[in-house]
Amino acid sequence: MLAYLIRRLFNAVLTLLVVTAVTFGIFFLVPKATGTDPALLYIGKTSDAASVEGIRVKMGLNDPIVVQYGKFLKGLVAGRDYANGPDVQHCPAPCLGYSFKTDQEVTPLLLGDLPVTLSLALGAAVLWLIMGISTGVISALRRGTVLDRVVMGGALAGVSLPIYFTGLLASAIFVYWLGWLPQGEYVPFTESPGDWFVQLILPWITLAFLFAATYARLTRANMLEILGEDYVRTARAKGLRERAVIGKHALRSSLTPIVTVFGLDLGALLGGAILTEKVFNLRGLGYQALTAIQGNDLPIILGVTLIAASFIVIANLIVDLVYGLIDPRVRLA
């Protein structure tokens, strides 16, 4: 198990390194390809040649790409100083540079967005796990019945309807038509847990609906497969109650593959749920990324990409570890 753990950790770090290299490469190449000078993006097209050159020196834009990448890595790990003669600007670790548009440091900017995305993703995840797994199990046990068809029809709708449709529809119904939920903005949990909760209900449900649909289908398919396994028959042959056969023996195995999917989905969502954040006006990482893409603000795009990638890599790592815990065949291999 320890060797397995170390191997996984090593892989994760390696993957992250590759991710930084690739994103940095793109970051370096995009301005080249579009013929724009990053220095100009920092200070605007009207600036004179001298101050543009000053920015180049300060940001290290004249260095070869490998040197720039090295400095970038150092900034991530230890922070870095941007200097042009006496003009020194310190960027603490993990340094992601400065926004082209506002000159703000990227790291604190994104950290400020993180709680919104975390709240959205984690809340929705709890909801979709409960909804998806329970409907999937029920559907599997009632296979072929009207209930099964209705649930799976709903799941199909859930998978195929886009967020901006379900999200707007949900808002229209619950906020404007029924008036059950207030119209408003995200409220930080630390400010008012109650308002935080109320404001997130709709985004949670909308996002969870999309994922629950996938999970319901997945759970149902797994469950049906597992119910045909010999060891489920053995469980019945021992005289176990059907409740134990399903709830213990069959569910245990049905959920194992879901752990993988769940980890990856959650990891991906933590990098920002662009559509949901946009539809519900939640200023999270996804929203930030969208704005940055529209404004060609490369440092922010790079920052969000790195954070998103890190979440996915970390999620992968956790999935591998959890998998080792729940499947003795992996753990003891």
Q: Is 241 in the site for another protein (CB under 8 A)?
A: yes
Q: Is 231 in the site for another protein (CB under 8 A)?
A: yes
The tokens for 2 are 């320890």
Helix axes 106-141, 298-326, angle to 10 degrees: 40
Q: Is 242 in the site for another protein (CB under 8 A)?
A: yes
Q: Is 233 in the site for another protein (CB under 8 A)?
A: yes
Q: Is 234 in the site for another protein (CB under 8 A)?
A: yes
- One of 240, 264, 268, 322 touching another protein (CB under 8 A): 240
Residue 82 is inside which H or E element, if any? Answer: strand 80-84
Task: Measure the CA–CA gap between 128 and 276, rounded to whole angstroms.
Answer: 15
Longest alpha-carbon distance in the chain: 86
x/- binding map, residues 99-138, to another protein, per CB under 8 A? ----------------------------------------
Q: Is 230 in the site for another protein (CB under 8 A)?
A: yes
* 129 closest CA partner among 317, 266, 270, 325: 266
CB of 320 vs another protein, minimal distance in Å: 17
Stretch that binds another protein, among 96-104, 182-190, 240-248, 279-287 (CB under 8 A): 240-248
The tokens for 213 are 């649909």
CB of 138 vs another protein, minimal distance in Å: 15
Amino acid at 167: G
Q: Do the beta carbons of residue 146 and residue 303 sit within 8 Å?
A: no
Q: Is 249 in the site for another protein (CB under 8 A)?
A: yes
CB of 148 vs another protein, minimal distance in Å: 12
Amino acid at 132: G
Q: Of residues 289-328, which lie at the interface with another protein (CB under 8 A)?
A: 326-328
Task: Measure the CA–CA gap between 333 and 331, rounded to whole angstroms.
Answer: 6
**Does the bond joining 203 to the residue before it have cis omega, within 30 degrees of 0?**
no
Residue 83 is inside which H or E element, if any? Answer: strand 80-84
Q: Is 165 in the site for another protein (CB under 8 A)?
A: no
CB of 250 vs another protein, minimal distance in Å: 10
**Could you list the residues that contact another protein (CB under 8 A)?**
144, 229-231, 233-242, 249, 252-253, 256, 326-329, 332
